[in-house]
Amino acid sequence: MVNKALLLGFLSVLILTSAVYGDITHQLPPEIRTLYRTLMQSENHDAKRAAAASLREIYEETRSEDVIDVIIDLMRFTYNHNNFSEQNQRMFYDDMIAMRLIEILEISKDPRVFPTLIRVVARRNHTQRTIDAAWKAIKAIDWSKENK
């Protein structure tokens, strides 16, 4: 039997986190802003793949929370297709980008990414490979970072 208080607490965290990360309003460094726009607006898959790789490099070098904020936003609004179909080439390529972004979230081990990852797993708007990457990233979360 599910503990109702625990479930309500979990849902509250999801709702509050969604409100906080609903849109990026703070100033992003120019390089991250450019990559964000490319990942959000470009129709060129190679440009998106290069932008995702650059975000990863920036994160690995700086551990910038801006990178994590950008990925949370992108996963919520740009790389979350309703009625996902692997037969739709654009959706399939976008899902490959989503998987690369999830790999950055895994590296971060940041508890703030949990709601984003659980959406990937629960809504199933991605390939199984991307869902598996989200599960792997969930398992990598360092919950001791939660209050820092």
Residue 52 lies in a domain: yes
Structural tokens at position 63: 């551990």
**47-76 mean pLDDT:** 97
CB atoms within 10 A of CB 143: 9
The domain total for the chain is 1
Report the pLDDT value the prediction gives residue 27, as an integer from 0 to 100: 86
pLDDT tens column, 87-101: 999 999 999 999 999
pLDDT tens column, 10-59: 555 555 444 444 446 468 999 999 999 999 999 999 999 999 999 999 99
Provide the domain limits for residue 104: 23-145
CA separation for the pair 125, 98 (Å, rounded) = 11
Residue 91 lies in a domain: yes
Residue 82 lies in a domain: yes
Going 9 to 15 to 19 to 23, the CA torsion angle's sign is positive
Residue 2 lies in a domain: no
CA separation for the pair 142, 146 (Å, rounded) = 8
Residue 3 lies in a domain: no
CA separation for the pair 49, 39 (Å, rounded) = 8
Residue 18 lies in a domain: no
Report the pLDDT value the prediction gives residue 115, as an integer from 0 to 100: 96
* Side-chain-facing half-sphere of 27: CA atoms under 13 Å: 2
